[in-house]
């Protein structure tokens, strides 16, 4: 499937169009303003951690000697229920659940109520 998308983007000149946008528009804006309009992240308080936010999600990237640490944060609420716990998003949407059974096992469900792990 990825190959079809790749060849489709070659037939429809997506790469050429994005290169022209970068060469003429984004580089001009960066040259005139001194700020990169394409960057997706800012530096955090420590001067090294890059932070990108999109809706309810925040991703932090911190460089380390042996690579980098990537932290994915999503603002959510943990609610206790009779069968276990439910994880709800900021808008109240169901994200995940952990349910206890009578024999002591725990079942983890995803947002589609499909079993992830037992």
For tokens 């984004």, the residue is 26
Backbone region of residue 67 per phi and psi (left: phi > 0; alpha: psi in -120 to 50; beta: other values):
left
Q: Is the pTM of this model over 0.75?
A: no
DSSP, collapsed to helix, strand or coil, labels residue 57 as: strand
- SS3 state at 19: helix
pLDDT of residue 42: 53
What average pLDDT score do residues 91-117 get? 82
**pLDDT(83) > 70:** yes
Q: Which of 3-7, 39-43, 47-51 has the highest mean pLDDT?
A: 3-7
Q: What tens digit of pLDDT does each residue of 14-27 get?
A: 888 888 888 888 88
Q: Is the pLDDT of residue 55 over 80?
A: no
Helix (H, G, I), strand (E, B) or coil at 53: strand
- pLDDT of residue 63 exceeding 60, the answer is yes
Contact 10, 2 (CB under 8 A): no
Around Cβ 39, how many Cβ atoms within 10 Å?
Answer: 10
**Do 66 and 75 form a contact (C-beta atoms < 8 A)?**
no
Does the pLDDT of residue 47 top 70, yes or no? no
Distance separating alpha carbons of residues 35 and 26, to the nearest angstrom: 10
pLDDT band at 38 (very low <50, low <70, confident <90, very high): low
User: Once rounded to an integer, what is the mean pLDDT over residues 46-60?
Assistant: 73
């Amino acid at each position: 499937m990825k190959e079809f998308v790749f060849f489709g983007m070659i037939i429809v000149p997506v790469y050429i169009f994005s290169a022209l946008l970068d060469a003429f528009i984004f580089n001009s804006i960066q040259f005139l303003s001194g700020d990169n309009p394409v960057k997706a992240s800012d530096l955090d308080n420590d001067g090294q951690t890059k932070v990108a936010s999109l809706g309810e999600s925040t991703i932090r990237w911190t460089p380390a000697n042996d690579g980098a640490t990537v932290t994915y944060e999503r603002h959510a609420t943990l609610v206790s229920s009779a069968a276990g716990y439910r994880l709800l998003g900021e808008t109240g949407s169901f994200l995940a659940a952990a349910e206890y059974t009578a024999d002591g096992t725990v079942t983890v469900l995803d947002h589609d109520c499909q079993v992830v792990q037992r």
